[in-house]
Amino acid sequence: MSARSEERAGGAAAVDGADIPRALGASAAAPAPAVFTVDVEDYYQVAAFRSLVRRRDWDWYPSRVEGNVARLLDLCDEHDIVGMWFILGWEAERRPEMVRRIAARGHELGCHSYWHREIYNLAPEEFREDTRRAKAAIEDAAGRAVVGYRAPSFSITKRSLWALDILVECGFTFDSSIFPVRHPNYGIPDAPHYPHRLRTASGSIWELPPATAPLCGRRVAVAGGGYLRQFPFSFVRAGLDRLTRGERHPAVLYVHPWEIDPGQPRLAAGWLTRQRHYRSLGRMSGRLATLLGALQFCSASALVRECRKTPGAAAMPAEATHRPEPARGAEGAQGVAGSIE
């Protein structure tokens, strides 16, 4: 695994606008790499179904996650890609074999919380407890340290920047939760759209924002998930080209295992939620395969290593960069039904 990630990492990366490809002696035309990430959760755990599915009932739903993870692992093998798998702690506890299979196939493991709750709806102490429990579950299953974090529903926003401090305290060295877009349920629109280092009271942490690109006069999400399923494919492809070839910034992509599963049980959600969750599930695998074949990939850890070498990659204070608002709770009061994730 390390050989192929090392080899791919040698390609290109960029942080703070620095031209890493050229610094490494690569061709001036080399695009920045993409990083493939998976948020390992099942169809009944998504935020949009929360009013239908109680957490205490999760065990009653037919599990589909292992089969879908197996298909994604095969897809990665076909394209020789080392992915970062952000795993739900609840799943790691129940399916430690799945965690070990992902690791044994040469991939990297990250944490996607224990209960899949938005961070801005939690008190800091609840978040700390959830994070520690999830990290321990994944590490116990895999027998290795977990240092990358992705928040459920990208829920590190201006109101929950305090979470970065707790992530550092818990031993995480990078995070991929701050989506630099405007969205009703997540995002910090003015956050940097390239990898950057944030300073917290406990130390610094690298932030790897999901991919966005300048399209139609604004910054648009092209990172995968619902955006890859629901936007015209040519639009997403054009955006990723602008990001990796035009701006020469890395493209952090994501997918959920349930998004490649048209056969998943249908839950009786409202019309809009059903549209957004079930629409285009049948074409996601094909689109994903095309992207995996078209872009150059490196592992998340290789990207962070390249960023660390970049001159001028000084840590920015999270508060100054993102101008947090002290109040919390307002975002949590908004409904999440039907949002693109």
Residue ranges binding Zn ion (CB under 5 A): 39, 41, 152
Cα–Cα distance, 135 to 93 (Å, whole number)? 10
- 152 vs 209, beta carbon nearer Zn ion: 152
State the minimum distance, in angstroms, from the CB of residue 229 to Zn ion.
15
Closest residue to Zn ion in the complex (CB): 39
- 39 vs 108, beta carbon nearer Zn ion: 39
Cα–Cα distance, 86 to 248 (Å, whole number)? 25
Cα–Cα distance, 252 to 297 (Å, whole number)? 10
- 39 vs 165, beta carbon nearer Zn ion: 39
Take residue 84 and report the two structure tokens written for it.
Answer: 């970062």
- 21 vs 152, beta carbon nearer Zn ion: 152
For residues 298 and 33, the answer to whether their CB atoms sit within 8 Å is yes
Report the candidate in 302, 310, 233, 255 with the shortest Cα–Cα distance to residue 33. 302
- 41 vs 108, beta carbon nearer Zn ion: 41
Cα–Cα distance, 3 to 320 (Å, whole number)? 38
Q: Which residue has tokens 């080899």?
A: 7
Cα–Cα distance, 44 to 55 (Å, whole number)? 9
Residue 60 half-sphere exposure toward CB, CA atoms < 13 A = 5
- 39 vs 91, beta carbon nearer Zn ion: 39
Q: What are phi and psi of 247, to 5 degrees?
A: -85, -15
State the minimum distance, in angstroms, from the CB of residue 8 to Zn ion.
26
State the minimum distance, in angstroms, from the CB of residue 44 to Zn ion.
12
- 114 vs 206, beta carbon nearer Zn ion: 114
Identity (one letter) of the amino acid at 212? T
State the minimum distance, in angstroms, from the CB of residue 260 to Zn ion.
15
State the minimum distance, in angstroms, from the CB of residue 116 to Zn ion.
6
State the minimum distance, in angstroms, from the CB of residue 128 to Zn ion.
19
Extended strands (E) in the chain: 34-40, 84-87, 108-111, 148-149, 174-175, 196-200, 203-207, 212-215, 218-221, 251-255, 316-317
- 168 vs 255, beta carbon nearer Zn ion: 255
Those residues with Cβ within 8 angstroms of residue 217's Cβ, 6 or more apart along the chain or in another chain: none
State the minimum distance, in angstroms, from the CB of residue 46 to Zn ion.
7
Take residue 312 and report the two structure tokens written for it.
Answer: 């001028």
Q: Which residue has tokens 């009786």?
A: 268
State the minimum distance, in angstroms, from the CB of residue 86 to Zn ion.
8
> What SS3 class is residue 219?
strand
